[in-house]
Chains A and B, each alone.
Chain A
Amino acid sequence: MHFFEFTEEQKMLRKAIREFAEAEIAPKAAEWDEQDVCPAELFKKMGEIGINGIFTPEQYGGAGIGFVGRTICLEEISRYSAGLGIAVMTHHLGIYPILQFGTEEQKKKYIPDLCSGAKIGGLGVTEPGGGSDFIGQKTAAEKKDDGWVLNGRKCFITNSHIADTTVLTAKTGQDEKGRTKLSAFIIEKGTKGFEAGRKEHKLGLRGSVTGDLVLTDVKISEDALLGKEGGGAKIGMEGIGEVGRAGMSAICVGILRGCVEEAVKFANERVVGGKAISKLQSIQFEVAKIRTAYEAARLLTYYAASLKDAGLPCANEVTTAKYYSTEAAVEASKRTMDLMGGYGIINEYPVGRFLRDALASIPSGGTSHIMQVIMAANTLSGFQA
């Protein structure tokens, strides 16, 4: 029995996306990083080949190949540009809540354009008070006769300045026990009072845009409410828990593969004292550790995605994968840099970027500490092997 053997379609998908990534992403990834620009124009091309709507059913313009397929896409893209990887992963994060909780009208209205690349998606949850203090968010939506009026500010939002369609959460009152009720809304770019604000200057995952979304008396109609009133916490958490963190994990699998491939290339080419450094055991130990990290992260990540495809609960597996893959990517890129000696810190090589991208992947979707808190709670309350 093989665990996680790709199907024939998944193998073809990997080959197709790899060809796309080698042709369209690899040659420009360093430039996007250096200039910190997001190649938003690529969304059109990615839409044509099916990346944007990879897990979206065909009836809404997607490819319908599921979450293992999505993981393949993010690994292949992030092998060369984790920055573009997080832009794509966030785009998926914008589609997922509409697909999962939207009405038929909302799905038909928003999703086909998000799949084709005509529009870019985003999700806005985090606020200056902290992303993981989910219920403590302050952005508020007030019900008016003919819709809602929103005020507040979201921060650290990926795709903030390029998204056309954003799902965001806001307080819509309190329940009978006095707890904050959150609701989710779909807001389109250009809506009066809805603007992108401060743009962050990031250490890593450059080539994606991260910034504020500012809401000042934003009036939206009744049908912009996504799911039930008060259902925003579930909508936000499911998206982040099963799609966002899974995406970050897949991105780091891509970074880890980059580390393996760059380490092998360098170790075989670099000659010191008359022989390639790959002949030295000290280098071989490093290569073995980097490879092990890649394989382990890959297994955790694809396993979690396969559970999602099977319709099984996967939040805990995704959390484990995200925690491991992001930390492993930091360690492996540092090892790869060490292996390369002085060359490791030269920007002509991508390994420095790998390290910065891996570091920036840790807080995206919840830090390692938050992942550990979630895992510990799950383990202490009912671990079963």
Chain B
Amino acid sequence: MEFVQQLINGISLGSIYALIALGYTMVYGIVKLINFAHGDVFMVGAFIGFYSISVFHLNFFLALLISMVACAIFGVVIERIAYKPLRNATRIAALITAIGVSLLIEYGTIYIRGAQIEAYPGNVIPDVTIKFFGVEVSSQSLFILGVSVLLMVCLQFIVHKTKIGKAMRAVSHDMDAARLMGINVDNTISATFAIGSALAGAAGVIFGMYYTSIDPLMGIIPGLKAFVAAVLGGIGIIPGAMVGGLVLGVIEALVSALGYSLWRDGVAFIVLILILIFRPSGLFGKNVREKV
């Protein structure tokens, strides 16, 4: 039964990875940029959630909502200031800029509020242990899973049923053609950053609640792992990011369960390198050849 519990832990963690991975994958799908700063948007989201709850005494859902809106705006600001001027630059230049933005957010946050760790208020949602069929599951795990699934359903709805979703798919398929069809490409890209960042913000609040401690550098590792999840699922593919996140979460939980918890962070990168070597297009991706 221990195994099932670890599995559920893994799924909860994985759903957080999945939420962050969605932003990576959507942005990569549309502008071919690995948005290194995405993990830091996640961090900012966690802090906004923290201040909303502990300073303004808002309830969890309001805090989640505020964090999502604020991160969406933050994401768009980053895109407009740092990335938009680089759309025609080399990918390497864009990647270096993203690294720069990431460092700026991390150390800017430290500069503003210090590097100290903050403890998330623990009583935001009830934490009771539910037992069924002999398996003990914490209500928080289920709650995380529930919120994540709900957000992913919303995302699917936006991408497939709304006008902006259609525009996003069109732009990621062929930016020039989309522009010729009268789609406002700049706004569509901004919308993609907004949605991705909002999901990262939500993931930040959920993460803070679940792991209770947050700090300005907390975004680095989950951010990288979420990127691994996105690559695992096939970068640019939305369901791929969801599955990739869950798979990665479960793998990590299993590694911990086997008693190798110190190696847990390494496993994600081993998965990354293996997938890049043997199936660079990811679990759901198609191989694309360079045209000669």
User: Does B bind A?
Assistant: no
